[in-house]
Structure formats: C-alpha cells, structure tokens
DNA sequence: CGGCCGATTATCT
DNA sequence: GATAATCGGCCGG
C-alpha cells in the first residue's frame, strides 16, 4: 500500500492520466507531517494545439515546465492571488498537464484547517484548484518539484479505483474566451464528494 | 442553492 | 495595458 505513482504513470497523454488520478492520494509533507486528500476532480490540458492550454502560445517562462519531463509539478499563479497545481504529463517537448481541481480530506486535518481558517469544514472547502493548493501549502516553491522521487515532499500515491458509473465527464471550467471545440471537449473528470463519504474513511 | 461582483498581480502582447 | 485553468462575500429565492 501507499505506492508512489511512477514516472511511467505520468508519461502518457494528460487525457489518459487525468481520469486515472481520480481516487489517488495527493500528499504534501509539511515538516514531516503527511497532509493529504483523495483526488476527486481533474482536467486535462494536452498539447500545443489545445487552445485551452497555456502552452498553445508556445513555450514561455511560465509554461515551460509543461514542456519538460513528466512526473513533475507545474504550479502557476493566477488572478493575482491563486496558485494552481498541475502534474506534468508526456515526454519532453510535448506540453501536457493535469490540473488537480478538488480533493477529499484524508490526513493532516489540523494543518488543512489552519491553512484555510475561514472556510474550514464548510461544504466545498477543498473543492477548487486554488482552495486545495492553499490547504496543502502548495505555492511557487513547488513548481518543477519531482513527484516521483522518494525524497519528494509532494507526491501522489495509488488509491482505490472508482467505478466509472461514479465519474462524471464534462467540458473544462473557466476557459472563458477559448473557442470551440476546446471549450466543450469532455476533458474534466469528477467523482462526487458523496462517493467518499460512503467509504467511511478514517479522516485524521 | 445560484448569480453577480470586486479583489489583486504575474505574465504576456 | 489587458487578461487570467478563481474565490469569497453578498444578495435574492
């Protein structure tokens, strides 16, 4: 158990990795303490031709990590205040990443709530890419962090698979002016919060 | 619960 | 100078 996802896991198109990340456990080590949640929502950003992807304009200083080796974090800043956590997919030269959009809390409750004191415990308090990044303490320090090293302080572990009947697939969120068909391509995967409540997990 | 709106700044044109 | 892979507060139902 607690198996670290390998470099090979990420070395595939984001559209394959994103649904496979549902049910996996996102872990951040904070002063050696495990703070984690089960990934329950993801989005794929795949290739230079994907007009919804940061990399569609070509390589820039910000999006460069997406062009680099798989199995690393791509963390970027947006809206003047929010950090977004992505996992880089595919080999060098092909920009691809999965945005992690929601987690179900599992370990490190005290730290999670300390990082989001106003919202802690409220409905949806970890549902949203900026919310979970804040709760886990993920910011620019983690850009390009290796998710596959045993030394890593940010990584993802294999979890129990979720039946496809429990997974909703939709178009991606927040792409605003992105033209069709990219706006409505079903590259967002969501497992209901309620699914994990039924599992009766020992939330610590 | 759903919709509107202001916040706030790195990044790119 | 405009925009952004968003959020939280406030409002009405």
Query: Where does the pLDDT of residue A200 fall: very low under 50, low under 70, confident under 90, or very high at 90 and above?
Result: confident
- Which nt is closest to the CA of A118, judged by C1'? C8
Residue at the smallest CA–C1' distance to nucleotide C4 = A79
Share of chain A above pLDDT 90, in %: 91
What count of other Cβ atoms lies within 10 Å of the Cβ of residue A200? 7
CA of A130 to C1' of B4 (A): 20
Any atom of strand C under 7 A from CB of A177?
Answer: yes
Do A188 and A15 contact (CB within 8 A), yes or no? no
CA of A103 to C1' of B12 (A): 31
| C-alpha atoms less than 13 angstroms from C-alpha of A44 in its C-beta half-sphere | 26
Read off the pLDDT of each residue in A106-130 and give the average, rounded to a whole number: 96
Burial class (CB in 10 A: 0-12, 13-18, 19+), A176: exposed
- Which nt is closest to the CA of A84, judged by C1'? C5
Burial class (CB in 10 A: 0-12, 13-18, 19+), A151: exposed
Query: Where does the pLDDT of residue A179 fall: very low under 50, low under 70, confident under 90, or very high at 90 and above?
Result: confident
Burial class (CB in 10 A: 0-12, 13-18, 19+), A99: buried
- Strand blocks (E) in chain A: 25-30, 33-46, 73-78, 82-88, 96-107, 154-157, 167-170, 188-191
Do A147 and A158 contact (CB within 8 A), yes or no? no
Any atom of strand B under 7 A from CB of A59?
Answer: no
- pTM, two decimal places: 0.96
Tens digit of each residue's pLDDT (9 = 90 or more) over A125-156 = 999 999 999 999 999 999 999 999 999 999 99
C-alpha to C-alpha distances, A155 to A87, A119, A145, A198, nearest whole angstrom: 10, 25, 9, 25
Residue at the smallest CA–C1' distance to nucleotide C3 = A79
Read off the pLDDT of each residue in A100-113 and give the average, rounded to a whole number: 97
CA of A196 to C1' of C5 (A): 25
pLDDT of A204 above 70: no
Nearest-angstrom CA–CA distance, A25 and A39: 6
CA of A165 to C1' of B2 (A): 27
Q: Which nucleotides in chain C lie closer than 7 A to a protein CB? A: 3-9
- Mean pLDDT, chain A, integer: 95
CA of A33 to C1' of C4 (A): 33
Question: What are A91's two structure tokens?
Answer: 């080999």
Nearest-angstrom CA–CA distance, A32 and A170: 37
H-run or E-run covering A64: helix A64-67
Chain A 74-103 contacts with nucleic strand C (CB below 7 A): 74, 78-82, 84, 86, 97, 99
Share of chain A above pLDDT 70, in %: 99
- Which nt is closest to the CA of A178, judged by C1'? C5
């Amino acid at each position: 158990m607690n198996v670290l996802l390998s470099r090979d896991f990420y070395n595939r198109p984001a559209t394959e990795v994103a649904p496979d990340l549902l049910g996996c456990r996102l872990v951040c080590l904070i002063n050696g303490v495990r703070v984690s949640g089960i990934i329950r929502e993801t989005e794929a950003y795949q290739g230079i031709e994907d007009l919804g992807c940061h990399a569609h304009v070509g390589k820039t200083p910000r999006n460069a990590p997406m062009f680099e080796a798989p199995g690393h974090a791509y963390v970027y800043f947006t809206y003047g205040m929010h950090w977004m956590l992505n996992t880089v997919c595919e080999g060098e030269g092909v920009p691809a990443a999965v945005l992690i959009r929601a987690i179900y809390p599992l370990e490190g409750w005290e730290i999670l709530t300390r990082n989001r004191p106003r919202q802690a415990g409220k409905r949806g308090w970890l549902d949203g890419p900026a919310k979970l990044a804040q709760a886990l303490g993920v910011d620019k320090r983690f850009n390009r962090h290796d998710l596959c090293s045993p030394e890593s302080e940010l990584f993802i572990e294999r979890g129990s698979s979720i039946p496809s009947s429990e997974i909703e697939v939709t178009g991606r969120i927040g792409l605003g002016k992105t033209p069709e068909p990219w706006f409505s391509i079903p590259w967002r995967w969501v497992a209901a919060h309620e699914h994990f409540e039924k599992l009766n997990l020992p939330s610590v």
